[in-house]
Copies of this chain bind each other. A is one copy, B any other.
Amino acid sequence: MDHPLIAKLEQFSRLSDEDRRTLEILTEGPVRRFASRADIVREGEAPRAVRLILSGWACRYKQLPNGRRQIVALFLPGDLCDHNVFVLSEMDHSIGTLSPVALVEIPPPAFEEMMTVRPRVTRALWWESLVNAATQREWILNLGGRDAVERLAHLFCELFYRLRGIGHMQDGGCDLPLTQTDLAEVAGLTPVHVNRTLQSLRRQGLLELRGRRLTIPDLPALERVASFNPNYLHLDRVGARFDA
């Protein structure tokens, strides 16, 4: 398998062999593995290292006193849990897995040293954190401005682009470990209504969803339904990699 962080950053800028090697060395620490549905960090704990997801799906989530849980971000392979967390004394949210996950923890000093010697990588990492922020904003728009059908359609469009960027889409399809309850916690809906909404998307031929496999037969159509605009992903070099 290709290195997911390198694959991700190369969507933004071309990296030299030297850059790539630096990233490989940085992330070759011991691999930590987590079961599905386990917590990686909990709200209230002190942040320690920078974490890189190597495989599997994870999420940031926050819990309300009434028991409701809201997923506020999804982590896919190649995603970093914010570079500078260690400035903060306490986590304001938890990070948990949605499937079995493998990750490495990058020691902050190694991270900072790399920033001084590899400017192109540093710039690419700034890009990645700005894209994260933009994605958060898009989720706010999604929750505040779109109805259930548009909201789920938008989520699947985003996942399509993000998974393709790390080479996880094969012929319009991907593995989707999320349950309908997970989707509900992402979309701010109830599981029942997620089910209704998925039925509707399927009936319209916008989605196939069998077992743990998602297929998007007609991405442009889905994008139209979602009023999806990928500009917030800032995929500057995408033409170089995916055009015919």
Contacts and interface: CB of A to CB of B under 8 A. Distances in A.
Interface of A: 43, 60, 62, 64-66, 68, 70, 72-73, 82, 84-85, 87-90, 92-93, 123, 126-127, 129-130, 132-134, 136-141, 143-146, 187-188, 227, 231-232, 234, 236
A151 to B, nearest CB: 10
B141 A72 contact: yes
B88 A137 contact: no
Contacts of A126: 84, 87
Contacts of A137: 60, 62, 72-73, 92-93, 136
A103 to B, nearest CB: 20
18 contacts: A43-B231, A62-B138, A64-B141, A64-B146, A70-B144, A70-B145, A72-B137, A72-B140, A72-B144, A84-B130, A85-B130, A87-B127, A92-B137, A92-B138, A92-B234, A93-B232, A143-B143, A143-B144
Nearest to A43: B231
A129 B136 CA distance: 13
Contacts of A234: 88-90, 92
A145 B145 CA distance: 15
A144 B232 contact: no
B133 A88 contact: no
A130 B83 CA distance: 10
A56 to B, nearest CB: 21
Q: Which 4 A-B pairs have the closest CB atoms?
A: A144-B188, A143-B143, A92-B232, A136-B136
Nearest to A129: B84
A232 B44 CA distance: 10
A144 B92 contact: no
A43 B232 CA distance: 10
Contacts of A140: 70, 72, 136, 139-140, 143
Given A64-B146, A82-B133, A133-B136, A88 B127 contact: yes
Contacts of A84: 126, 129-130
Contacts of A139: 140
A87 B123 contact: yes
Task: Tell me which of A66, A123, A133 has the highest count of chain B C-beta atoms within 10 A of its own C-beta.
Answer: A133
A123 B89 CA distance: 13
Nearest to A64: B145
A126 B138 CA distance: 22
